């Protein structure tokens, strides 16, 4: 079973064509560096509309069977930023550690990382993860997060994801 | 447009006159050290009553147009401490990073900082921030938080707040 | 007044007798190392059923008068792991600092600590604390947490808990 991974760019301006989406491609590029096993990307580009974000996340998990859905954008304090709220609305259980860890990592680069409202959670057997919108911050956070993401997906009976060990080593604890 | 900042002391005993409010003045004093641009303080002293806290926060934002409201007190585990719950009730979106960061900062001083239930969130275009009650802890947390607070307020189309760079430098990322 | 402390092992497999409960005894053993004053343990072993977890927590606090209830197990991302949700359902106020601190401590040992969804909260005058399931992780997190737990219980008018200072020193701030 190859891993299907949804990558959702959430940006009014990229959706309207005011600028190119650089965030989604940065996620795909970083995943290509990280993952050495087979995987299938499913990409979406949508505006900062809560309903549309929720419907996209639901479709990628319930219909497309993605084991992991990564969003990028919409996590700041601007009035249009509602990605964390949409994520929480479609998750049955939350994973507070990922938001904490991403803010801690990004705080080593910029003090405004504290403004990031990123969260993560579980819907069925899938992990939804909010990443920041900046390509640089995507790269800085997504690589260390893959130390734990493959184990998370396996704990939910998802596919085995292998990583390029020169980029990041996936840690797999021995559960009894 | 000068920045209006609400400062709300939440304390049954200070409200009853059992002791003087030292927390509100500590917030004002620290803001005076930090902020070099014009700003207008609006101060309140109220008891640990959830409804009263909620009404005060709503009034300072919806009627007084404060871009920032700082509370002090009522964030511990005592049965009367309900400031975080009142804050969450009036916010549309939460800012989990500030609570995490304040606890991380305060943990370097006292292990009981973990008991602090401080949170932060957004109502309309305003930031509400719970600070601890102790004047020393106010000083220790409020200064480093101002590295990011001016950027947060600008992202919500609020007024420009300048800081005294010998106290704290406000970081302003280049958003495209 | 001796401190009553509830210790709840939450595990389908230990409950079914597939393996022995090692987590509950690890909590008791660690508490015996930590606490030098008199205390009374009340232990429970239950499956990963949300209703049963909620009922057990309520009974230990409302009927048994435990000032502290420690759970172990059920905090990961597996579909049966619902301890944090049950905890939140029975708490009136949450204590976000303990989950953050436990994840930060455990991250120094294993990167998958970020997957732990542990939380803590208050019901009446009692503290509920989710610990991980692994005996090693219980020991690693519970000892440093006791720097602040006795102060938390005293702030809620609970019993005085003394610690063995060679294991951990309980910090008691001077509140005015």
- Among chain A residues, CA nearest to C19: A176
Cβ within 8 Å, pair C77-A127: yes
What is the sign of the dihedral through the CA atoms of B131, B136, B141 and B147? Answer: positive
Residues of A in contact with C104 (CB under 8 A): 100
The whole-number pLDDT of residue C176 equals 43
What secondary structure letter does DSSP report for B170? P
> What is the ipTM for the molecules in this complex?
0.95
Nearest in space to A8 (alpha carbons), one of A51, A58, A42, A55: A42
Residue whose structure tokens are 């064509």: A17
Q: Which two tokens stand for residue A136?
A: 């640089």
Q: Does the pTM exceed 0.80?
A: yes
The whole-number pLDDT of residue A173 equals 85
| pLDDT tens digit sequence for C58-110 | 999 999 999 999 999 999 999 999 999 999 999 999 999 999 999 999 999 99
Residue B173 parent element (H or E): none
The whole-number pLDDT of residue A175 equals 52
Residues of A in contact with B98 (CB under 8 A): 114
Of C93, C147, C173, the CB nearest to B117: C93
Q: Within an 8 Å CB–CB cutoff, is residue C105 touching chain A?
A: no
Nearest in space to B100 (alpha carbons), one of C129, C97, C75: C97
Contact assessment for residue C97 and residue B114, using Cβ atoms and an 8 Å cutoff = yes
Residues of B in contact with C174 (CB under 8 A): none
Question: Of chain C residues 11-50, which have a CB less than 8 A from chain B?
Answer: none
Residues of B in contact with A111 (CB under 8 A): 144, 147-148, 171
Q: Within an 8 Å CB–CB cutoff, is residue A135 touching chain B?
A: no
Domains of chain A plus CATH, in order, are: 3-155 (3.40.980.10)
| pLDDT tens digit sequence for C130-146 | 999 999 999 999 999 99
Contact assessment for residue B7 and residue B128, using Cβ atoms and an 8 Å cutoff = no
């Amino acid at each position: 079973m190859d891993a299907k991974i949804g990558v959702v760019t959430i940006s009014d301006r990229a959706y309207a064509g005011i600028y190119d989406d650089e965030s989604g491609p940065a996620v795909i590029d970083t995943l290509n560096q990280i993952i050495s096993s087979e995987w299938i990307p499913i990409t979406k580009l949508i505006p900062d509309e809560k309903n549309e974000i929720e419907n996209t996340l639901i479709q990628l998990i319930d219909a497309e069977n993605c084991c992991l859905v990564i969003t990028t954008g919409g996590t700041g304090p601007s009035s249009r930023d509602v990605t964390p709220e949409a994520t929480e609305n479609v998750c049955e259980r939350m994973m507070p550690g990922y938001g904490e860890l991403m803010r801690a990592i990004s705080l080593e680069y910029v003090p405004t990382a504290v403004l990031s409202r990123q969260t993560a959670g579980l819907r069925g057997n899938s992990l939804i993860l909010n990443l920041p919108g900046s390509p640089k911050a995507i790269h800085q956070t997504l690589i260390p997060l893959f130390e734990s993401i493959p184990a998370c997906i396996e704990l939910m009976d998802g596919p085995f994801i292998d990583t390029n060990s020169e980029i990041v080593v996936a840690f797999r604890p021995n559960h009894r």
